Amino acid sequence: MNKNISVIGVPMDLGQSRRGVDMGPSAVRYAGMKERLENLNYTIKDLGDVQINHGLEEDPNEPLHNLRRIAAATEELAHIVDEEVESGAFPLILGGDHSISIGSIAGIAKHYENLGVIWYDAHGDLNSAETSPSGNIHGMSLAVNLGIGHPSLTGILGDEPKVKPENVVIIGARCLDEGERELIKERGIKVFTMHDIDREGMPQIMEQAIAYLKDRTDGVHLSLDLDGLDPSEAPGVGTPVFGGLTYRESHVAMELLAQSKCITSAEFVEVNPILDDKNKTAEVAVGLMGSLFGEWLL
C-alpha cells in the first residue's frame, strides 16, 4: 500500500440532524491516528480540516437540508483530494457525516477509469429527494456518486457519474428504505447484508467482495461508516442500528483488505464524540485503520 498518506479532516455535520459529528476528525486524531500509522512506517501529512461555510444562505424552499453549504464544502474537498491523488499520496479522509463522500469520491474518481467502492455501512445511502424520508443528504451520498440526485451535488468535478453501480459493494447493510431497495435491484448493486454475514461469516464475505471488484476495477475506495458496527461496539454515531458488525469482524475485514492490496483511498465517517463513551468510537476507528494499513499481532 502507498506509504505516503495525506489526512484530510472534514468537520461537517450538515448532512444529518444530530449535532456533534463535526468533532469527529478531532476525536480520531486525539485517539492516536497519526502515531498508530507512523508506527507502521507510513509518512503522514495532515492537511488539517476543510473549512465549512456555515454562513452560506440556504433556499428555504429546498427539500434537501443544507444543500448549498454541503455542495460548497464537498466541492472544496474534491479539489483537495484531487490534488493529493495527483501528487501520488493515499488520501485518508476523516468525517464528518457521510455526505462528505460526495466530495472525496469526486476527487478520487478523476484518476481511475473504473473506480470501485466498498461501502461499509448499516445503510445504503441510496436515497434521493424523491425517496428520502428525512431530506438529510448523508442518506443520499452513494446515490449522488452514482449520478442520482441534485445537479449541484452530482456535478462536482464533472457531470458524469463518479462510480458505476456494478463497481459498488455494500457490506453490513441492515436498514434500507423502500426506494433504496428498488434502486439496488434496478441497478444490480452488490449488497452483503447482515443476514449474509451471519450465515457465511466475514472472511467469506470479504473474499467474495474482493474477488468481485478485483478484475473490474483499477482502484478501490473504502468508505467506512462507524454505524456499520453494532452500537455496543461503536456507540458514538448519529444513526445507530442494532444487530451490527462486531469489532472483531470489522478487524478481519480490514486485515483481508490489507492483504488484498486493493485499497487505494479511504474515509472513516460519522464519529460523533457527543454521543460517544470516553472516545470509544474514535479509538475503534483508529484500530480499524491500523488493520487496514497492515498492522499484525505477530
Catalytic residue IDs? 98, 121, 123, 125, 138, 225, 227, 270
In SS3 terms, the chain reads as: CCCEEEEEEECCCCCCCCCCHHHHHHHHHHCCHHHHHHCCCCEEEEEEECCCCCCCCCCCCCCCCCHHHHHHHHHHHHHHHHHHHHCCCEEEEEECCHHHHHHHHHHHHCCCCCEEEEEECCECCCCCCCCCCCCCHHHCHHHHHCCCCCHHHHCCCCCCCCCCHHHEEEEEECECCHHHHHHHHHHCCEEEEHHHHHHHCHHHHHHHHHHHHHCCCCEEEEEEEHHHECCCCCCCCCCCCCCCECHHHHHHHHHHHHHHCCEEEEEEECCCHHHCCCCHHHHHHHHHHHHHCCCCCC
Q: Distance between CA 72 and CA 290 in Å, rounded?
A: 31
Non-local (6+) Cβ contacts of 291 within 8 A are 251, 254, 255, 258
Place of cell 453549504: 69
